[in-house]
Amino acid sequence: MVSGQRIGQSEAPLPYLSPELNGQRLLIGANFASAGIGILNDTGIQFVNIIRMFRQLDYFAEYQRRVSAVIGAQQARQLVNRALVLITVGGNDFVNNYYLVPYSARSRQFTLPNYVKYIISEYRKLLMRLYELGARRVLVTGTGPLGCVPAELALRGSNGGCSAELQRATSLYNPQLEQMLQGINRKIGQTVFIAANTQQTHMDFVSNPQAYGFTTAKVACCGQGPNNGLGLCTALSNLCPNRQLYAFWDPFHPSEKANRLIVEQIFSGSTNYMTPMNLSTVMALDSLTS
């Protein structure tokens, strides 16, 4: 919802499977996300009832057919072409797959550099499918500093610092993701895919939380164990008295305040954060051509 507010949406798009998503509400958009999934189909196999990426894309096609029934095929096509699509996936392919357990199936199959190349190639197929389905403005976020979240500090951190191995994964993955997106844009001859360097945005407040009004970027507001980094945020968890002072809400996810900082960089950040342009530039260009 934070990102929607920043671009002027009065309400968040409903989950696609919500029974309330029908009629005119379809025209606001839809949320196809599913927690725990990854680029790969075997990411998140420990979770039940997750909606994997290929199924989300099927739902996106189905959504367009439903919109067509409301406003007609031509207007539905225009609506989708002009829509902003936000896609955030990839971190779980490391945390909930490659590094989920020691000697995981994927870590035995691939060295880390080859695994990164493999998931980038699989991600490219998904993004091309998204393009074929009519998406023309796609904001793609990289992974944050996976080794620096409270969960990894609790499990793998050394001397209070980030997990070097997960940080290595991040440093390999994010630049290759950006290169892949630039390659797709060149292939199709227009800027469809915009890369958001969320690794850099996260590291700004992870490395200097006080500069952004946080007291800590090492301890989650809600959790258990070291750094409040173990388990999920539940009624039994430790809960901080003031979430505004924490960069992380739970063992993995930024707090709402941190998310607002991330969204602001997506909207108006320099090319250190956004490639080839930030969201405000995209929206300004779109207003000239609409």
CA 82 to chain CA mean position, Å: 21
pLDDT by 10-residue block (mean), the chain, 290 residues: 53 93 94 95 91 97 97 96 95 95 95 98 98 97 94 84 93 98 97 95 93 96 95 93 96 94 94 94 79
8 A C-beta contact, residue 251 and residue 229:
yes
**Rounded CA separation 280/271 (Å):** 13
For residue 156, what pLDDT is reported? Answer: 83
Q: How many CA atoms lie within 13 A of 151 on its CB side?
A: 18
Tokens 């930024």 label which residue? 254
**Rounded CA separation 75/40 (Å):** 33
Number of helical (H) and strand (E) elements in the chain, helices listed first: 11, 8
For residue 232, what pLDDT is reported? Answer: 87
The kind and range of the H/E element at 130 are helix 112-132
Adjacent-strand bridge partners of 248: 220, 254
pLDDT digits (tens, 9 = 90+) for 46-86: 888 899 999 999 999 999 999 999 999 999 999 999 999 99
* Eight-class DSSP state of 101: S
For residue 159, what pLDDT is reported? Answer: 75
Contacts of 69 (CB under 8 A, 6+ apart): none
Domain boundaries, the chain: 2-198+271-288
